[in-house]
């Protein structure tokens, strides 16, 4: 399957100094959190991590790879470099700097739901499968095109904002992603906080309105 995002994963490259320091980091007990004492190595490791971040931000157009929340306005403190196969699990440590295993996520998805969970991984031992879409129950940040599984519709005015997630193709991965990251909560919170909508009736009317808008924008909706 062709890479669903640009720039393609195969175009990612670290320079010699960055490669050397990453190789050294991978020997540490916690490769991603390893802190070299040498300032030159420290700078090279930082530049490798910055490069990874910038690369994945570009691939997902500065949105969270799981919920599509915009990260540009949220700023660097809301943006996490995401390890799909969690870096905290011993068997996945070797993939701490593997570009295919990395992405960018919002703090909500990464900290609140993802953490060290690995129930979304189909095979935890077949290393060849690690680099395929089929091995992940949710939408993989590098092997699946998010929009093939879910549609996120945002509508906003001043401080009011509506967020609705659709699964127009009844995608299993889309459904799993919605449940795993509790994306419905984002919709409900947006209705609740943004609009002050309290009743089910108001909520469903607002949802119908968003649906109409989504159709207007040519989005695939149910």
Q: Which of 22, 67, 85, 214 binds Zn ion (CB under 5 A)?
A: 67
Longest Cα–Cα distance of the chain, Å, equals 62
Interface region with Zn ion, contact rule CB under 5 A, candidates 86-94, 103-111, 135-143, 163-171: 103-111
9 is a site residue for Zn ion (CB under 5 A): no
Cβ nearer to Zn ion, comparing 28 with 78: 78
CA angle 182, 188, 190 (to 5 degrees): 110
First to last CA, the chain: 27
What does the alpha-carbon distance between residue 86 and residue 98 come to, in Å, rounded to a whole number? Answer: 12
**Cβ pair 41, 24 in contact under 8 A:** yes
Structural tokens at position 115: 């953490």
Cβ nearer to Zn ion, comparing 48 with 52: 52
Interface region with Zn ion, contact rule CB under 5 A, candidates 23-31, 56-64, 133-141, 159-167: 56-64
Q: Which of 83, 82, 84, 60 is nearest to 72 (CA)?
A: 60
Q: Which of 21, 25, 45, 64 binds Zn ion (CB under 5 A)?
A: 64
21 is a site residue for Zn ion (CB under 5 A): no
SS3 readout for 41-62: HHHHHHHHHHHHHHHHHHHCCC
Cβ nearer to Zn ion, comparing 44 with 177: 177
Restricted to residues 105-164, the positions that interact with Zn ion (CB under 5 A) are 106, 109
Least distance in Å: CB of 74 to Zn ion? 10
What does the alpha-carbon distance between residue 87 and residue 160 come to, in Å, rounded to a whole number? Answer: 37
Least distance in Å: CB of 96 to Zn ion? 21
Contact residues: Zn ion, CB under 5 A: 64, 66-67, 69, 106, 109
């Amino acid at each position: 399957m062709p890479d669903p995002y640009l720039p393609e994963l195969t175009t990612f490259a670290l320079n010699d100094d960055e490669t050397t320091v990453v190789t050294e980091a991978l020997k540490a007990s916690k490769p991603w959190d390893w802190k070299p004492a040498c300032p030159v190595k420290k700078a090279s490791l930082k530049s490798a991590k910055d490069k990874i971040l910038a690369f994945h931000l570009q691939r997902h157009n500065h949105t969270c790879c799981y919920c599509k929340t915009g990260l540009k306005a949220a700023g660097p403190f809301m943006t996490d470099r995401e390890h799909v196969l969690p870096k905290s699990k011993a068997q996945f440590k070797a993939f701490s700097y593997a570009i295919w295993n990395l992405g960018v996520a919002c703090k909500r998805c990464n900290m609140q739901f993802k953490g060290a969970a690995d129930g979304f991984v189909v095979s935890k031992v077949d290393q060849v499968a690690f680099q395929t879409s089929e091995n992940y129950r949710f939408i993989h940040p590098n092997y699946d095109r998010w929009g093939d599984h879910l549609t996120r519709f945002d509508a906003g005015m001043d401080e009011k904002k509506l967020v609705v997630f659709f699964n127009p193709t009844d995608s299993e991965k889309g459904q799993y992603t919605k449940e795993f990251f509790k994306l419905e909560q984002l919709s409900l919170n947006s209705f609740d906080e943004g609009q002050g909508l309290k009743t089910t009736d108001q909520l469903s009317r607002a949802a119908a309105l968003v649906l109409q808008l989504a159709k207007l924008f040519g989005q695939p909706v149910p």
